[in-house]
Amino acid sequence: MPLKAFSGKALENPLPQAIFFCHRIPRPDSTLIDIETGTPRWSDAAGLTVWTCVPFTDGKASNEPGAIADLIRNTPDTKRTVKLDRTKLAELRKQVERDLVKEHLRPLQAPLGVNPVLKCWLELN
């Protein structure tokens, strides 16, 4: 799957508009050992997947996969629509990534330059 795939989904019911993000959080990978230091290298393959859904109304992010799955589930016939300004989308993405670093990578003392990897995002209208 290409990185940072973006799409939009037209909602059929009056749910609040939101944006969905799927990130991989890198972790030390014991199968990739740095030759110079002998320590595991960080990789998203060894990491975990985090889903985040941010409603435009209050901006309070949810990471509950069960609730998010119902919002993002699509069929080939699902209408696609993108309405939000690209600048606003980029700001939301950066904020979510800062929160992921704070919540997941800082406690692991990840080296500088190790960041969440955006796999896909979806605007829900």
The pLDDT tens digits of the residues spanning 24-70 come to 999 999 999 988 988 899 999 999 999 999 988 777 888 889 889 98
Percent of the chain with pLDDT over 90: 46
Q: With 0-12 CB in 10 A as exposed, 13-18 as middle and 19+ as buried, what is 123?
A: buried
Instruction: Please report, as a single letter, which amino acid is at residue 68.
Output: I
Scanning the structure block, which residue is given the tokens 């941010």? Answer: 54
Any alpha helices (H) in the chain, and if so which ranges? 65-72, 86-100
On whether the CB atoms of residues 112 and 21 are closer than 8 A, the answer is: no
How many Å apart are CA 47 and CA 93, to the nearest integer? Answer: 19
Taking CA atoms, 94 is separated from 90, 91, 99, 100, in Å, by 6, 5, 9, 10
The model's pTM is 0.83
